[in-house]
Chains A and B, each alone.
Chain A
Amino acid sequence: MANVRLDNVWKRFGTNEVIKGINLEIDEGEFVVLVGPSGCGKSTLLNLVAGLETLSDGNVFIGDRKVNDVAPKDRDIAMVFQSYALYPTKTVRDNITFGMITRRVPKAEQEKALAQVSDLLHIDMLLDRKPGQLSGGQRQRVAMGRALVRNPDVFLFDEPLSNLDAKLRIEMRTEIKKLHRRLGKTIVYVTHDQIEAMTLASRIAVMDNGFIRQFAPPETVYEDPIDLFVAGFMGSPSMNLFKGRVVENGGIRLEVTDEEGTVLFPVPEPYAVAARGHIGRELYLGLRPETITREGTQRPGTNVFAFERMIDVVEPTGPDTMLVFTLGGLEAIARVHPEDKAPVDTMFRFEVNMDRAKLFDPESGMRIQPTASAI
């Protein structure tokens, strides 16, 4: 077991800076998910940990060892690739044991490890098949098996589920989480899927453009996003953002105006002090879809605020129905119970849980932090 530490890590391809001075400390046994849009550098960062790319600058530590110049095979890591990268001419058995053979692990030990892993992953009946004869899910298991027999200090996963269909992806997600609980090994996991990140991680590193925007547990990343990028990236549908002017009108309020009239959102108490400093200027109000519902349906005791808007689109998803409306010229989504829905093009009274509202500075993109007691 080992922790992983990145110390001011840079990666440049020619003049193109892909990783721009990242510091990251991953604790022993932690499940860290690197998440971000494509091209944000998350896979490159993983390859730097694996040793499949060379550092331009900075240091990488696995355990107490500086591994900058250590070859991938000597880093005590195992990796699962997005394309699975199974050896097409080898049987499942040979795919799994190949690493042990190159390491000259004794035959008896190989057999034992193979039996253990194939039992764990339910691939014992596939051992004599070639990768071409396996389904996507089976290939995925074999790729995991190949990593597991290594019994490494650190597991690296590079979008391992993105080639699976939706149902299988959810199944394998649970399996991976179980596996982590069972093995307790450090895992670094790359994905572009924020739901995967939320469900799997003990901490999420949200990446954008070569930087880590926020590194925190999933709940924090979701409820306390540090800036507009994190707020917009995490969550699906993503957070609604309304641009409004801060005014003083029976308390500090955020005024959002469009042709349907003006809505005056009351700024919640913890933000009032900070918002007061912005009077006359514009701020972004961030409201997650699930905090906007039909009037009268919020949990009692919450700080609610109601407003009225026309429903533009109704999108039933089964457990919830999404109502799309426009406020202040920006499209927004409310997540309501299916029985609360109303027909398109009718007026609807929405109710917002203002306790979960967030404020952002439009210039810096940074979140305006609440003062005194947290949410």
Chain B
Amino acid sequence: MESQARVKFYCDEARCIDCHGCDVACKEAHHLPVGINRRRVVTLNEGLVGKEKSLSIACMHCSDAPCAQVCPVDCFYVRADGIVLHDKEKCIGCGYCLYACPFGAPQFPKSGIFGSRGPMDKCTFCAGGPEETHSEKEYKLYGQNRIAEGKVPVCAAMCSTKALLAGDSDSISLIIRERVLKRGSGTASVPYTWSQAYKD
């Protein structure tokens, strides 16, 4: 049933060293304005020596994405490979998707003279948007389209410890299984990010 290819993000908390390489790479690659963070690193148990763990979080490209369900103008669309994208020209910046999102992924740049919320911005899995692939308009609105070039998202490509993985779910699951076996730890439970995003 789950055999069809479906992209996923995975962050290995045993490997993430809180270097922020992923979010800096993302900002740089897509020329994101100040205050817009498509990806960011969260640190848990902060300040507790030896207990700190970091995770990199962005839009998880959920199945049955809550954002797409609540959008009043239906600006979201889900690609066959599971990537959740949206049309910025349709988006009215109402912020409903941020209410619905369990990961706090939607970002709202300020726009207009009153500084009201502009059209939403979020991680595209480096797959651009509804505009023509590699067109200037697509680049301006959504950033790079690395998927069309056959590359993985820039955050995962940049990750120095390969904590952050991006790709089809079967390959990622295989890597996680291998790592857990080599580490000899029995904590290969499904992370919340996965159970929440992909209903695994």
A and B physically associate: no
Task: Give me the interface of B with A, judged by CB distance under 8 Å.
Answer: none
